[in-house]
Amino acid sequence: MLSPQLLEGYQAPLIHEVHADDQYLLNTLEGEWFEILHHFRWWDYREHAGAYYDALYEFNRQAGEQTAPTEETAPETQAQAKLRLLFDRPTMTSEEAPPPQILYQGQVVEATEPTVDPQTLAPGVVPPRLVGRKPKCFFGLLKSFIGTALMGFPAEPEQVDLLLKTNPSFARVCGFVPKEKDKAPTYQGSHIPSLRKLEQFDQVMRQAGLWDRIKVNEVTINLHTGVITPEKELVGDTTHYRAYSSFETLHYEDDKGKAQKKSQSKTTKTCACDDWSSCPHEWILSDEGAGTIVKSKTKIVWGHKASVIGLPQQGIALDAVAISDAATHDGKTFFPHVEQVLGCYPSLSESIERVLYDSACDDATLKAQFQDELGIELKASFNPRRTKPITEHLPRGIEKITPYGVPVCSAGYEFDYKGCRYANETFVYQAPCHKDGACVCLECPERLQCCNRTNQSGRTITVSFDTLPQIDPNDPPMAKRFKAIMRRRPSVERMIKRLKCDLSDERLSKRGNESFQAYLDKTMIAYHLLLRYLY
C-alpha cells in the first residue's frame, strides 16, 4: 500500500518491490498515465483527503437517518409537477422575473477546516476516528479515477471498476491489491474496492464539491508555476454531451395564450414508496439540466451543454462548466462564465484584455456589458442577420455585395476591403491582384464597361455606410485586423476535442447536472495533470 514517493520524516519501506512491468510502463510512450500515477504527488492532496474523510463520515451518518416529508398538504399530481418543473427552467422564466442562473452552481458547500488533521494522512493511512470497517484510502481512489481519464476513458465508477479488475499494473500503482481467489474473503483496506465503494466515493466527492476544488487547485498550480503562461485573450464556446435519458414533449400556453411546446426530461421520485401518485414526496426531473440543443435546421441533440473557456495561443482549456438548462442560447452563457473564471483565477484578470466567441455573441448590448462590467473587449464572428446579398443601387460593374460586406464584380472577382472614409461615410474597396501583382482589371473582358480610365491599380469603389447597415464602420469584419484576431478563435474547437474525445466520452452514463459537472471536473483534473507532465 506504500506509494513509491516518500516524504521526509517518513520511514522508507523495508522491502522495495520492483515490478518488471512497472519498469516497462515507465519507459513506454503511451504510458503517460502510468508515469503520472507512479510519481503522483499525493501530499499535495492531503487537505482534500481530510475534507473527504469528513464528508464520508457525514455521508455514513446521514445514511442512517430517515428523511421524512415535511409538508402534509395534498400531493402534487404528476401533470402539475411537469408544468411546475417546466416553468422553473432558466429558459422559461419571463423577462420581468429575476435573471435566471445560467451556469450550474451546484449546492453551496462551505470549505470548512477539516476535523481530520491532513498532515496525518498518507496513502494507506486513514483517520482512526471512523468506526466500523477501515475505509478505502482516498489517495488510491483518487488515483483510480484520474488514471481512468488519463487512459482516455470516462472517469465514471463502472469504467474505473473494469480497469482496476482487468489491469493489475493500474490497480497496483493506485495502491490496491487484487483479492485472491483461494483465500477466505476477509475484508482488507488494501483490496481493490467494489463497484459500490467506487460509486460511493464519486458521490461523496461530488456532493462535497471536492472534484471542483481539486480542479481549481490544478489550474491554479499550472498558472502559478508557468505551465500556463499569461495571454491577453480568452476564447469560449459551448459543446454538447449526449444525455443518458429520454424526453417527453410538453404542451403549454405562453403569456399571450399561444400554444407552445417544449421537450423536457421525464418526472420521477427518489423515494421507494409503492404508489408515487399518492405519496407526499416531491416530483423531480429525472435528468435535470438536459434539453434540446439545436445544432442546425436538421440536427437536434437531446443532451447537456457545457461552456468551455481557454487560452487561444496555447490552446489550453481553463474551465468547463455545465449550463443549468441545455436549451439556453449560447449568447447568454459566455458572460457569466467569463465572470466566474476571472473571479476564480484573479491572476488572469490582470492579463486578459479581449475575449473571442463565435457569431452567437455578435450583439452590441453584450459587447457593451463586457466593456462596462469587466473592462474587456468582446470580439465575435460577424453575424450578418440577413442571408440575401445586396443587388440594387450598386456601383458600375458590381454584381452584388455579400451579407458579409464583400462586393463581387460582374467578372466574378471579390473586391478587397481597403478601409473607410469617415468624412463621406463610405467603405472603400479595390479590385484584387493576381499572384504576380498585376491587377485583375487589366486583362478583364468587362474592362470597357467597368473601368473607364487607364488605371494601373484597377477599379476602386466606395459603398455608403447606409447600404450596409449590418456592418459596424468602427469594427468592420472585412478588415485584415478583424480577420487576424478571429483566426485564433477556432483553437477552442481543439480544446473541446481534447476534453470530449481524448480524455472522456461524449455519451454520458449518468443523469443530472451535478453528475455532469463532476464529469467535466474529473476530465479537467486529468487534463491539467497531463499538461504539467508534458511541460
Which residues of the chain form contacts with Zn ion (CB under 5 A)?
A: 271, 273, 279, 281
Which residue lies nearer to Zn ion by CB, 70 or 454?
70
Residues in a beta bridge with 122: 125
Helix ranges (H only) for 363-512 are 364-369, 447-450, 480-486, 491-497
Which residue lies nearer to Zn ion by CB, 281 or 532?
281
Amino acid at residue number 263: S
Which residue lies nearer to Zn ion by CB, 65 or 182?
65
β-strands 233-242, 354-357 pairing = parallel
Nearest to 520 by CA among 142, 49, 32, 156: 156
Closest contact distance (angstroms) between CB of 81 and Zn ion is 13
- How far CA 357 is from CA of 342, 366, 367, 518, in Å, comes to 16, 12, 11, 25
CB 364 within 8 A of CB 326: no
Which residue lies nearer to Zn ion by CB, 177 or 271?
271
Which residue lies nearer to Zn ion by CB, 69 or 230?
69
DSSP 262-279: EEEEPEE--S--S-TTTS
- How far CA 387 is from CA of 123, 357, 401, 447, in Å, comes to 62, 21, 11, 30
CB 227 within 8 A of CB 347: no
Closest contact distance (angstroms) between CB of 328 and Zn ion is 31
Length of the chain: 535
Which residue lies nearer to Zn ion by CB, 281 or 418?
281
Nearest to 518 by CA among 48, 156, 248: 156
Which residue lies nearer to Zn ion by CB, 284 or 406?
284
Amino acid at residue number 107: Q
Q: How far apart are CA 84 and CA 282, in angstroms?
A: 11
Which residue lies nearer to Zn ion by CB, 274 or 392?
274
Closest contact distance (angstroms) between CB of 267 and Zn ion is 13
Closest contact distance (angstroms) between CB of 72 and Zn ion is 14
Instruction: Tell the residue number behind the cell numbers 465503494, with chain if given.
Output: 197
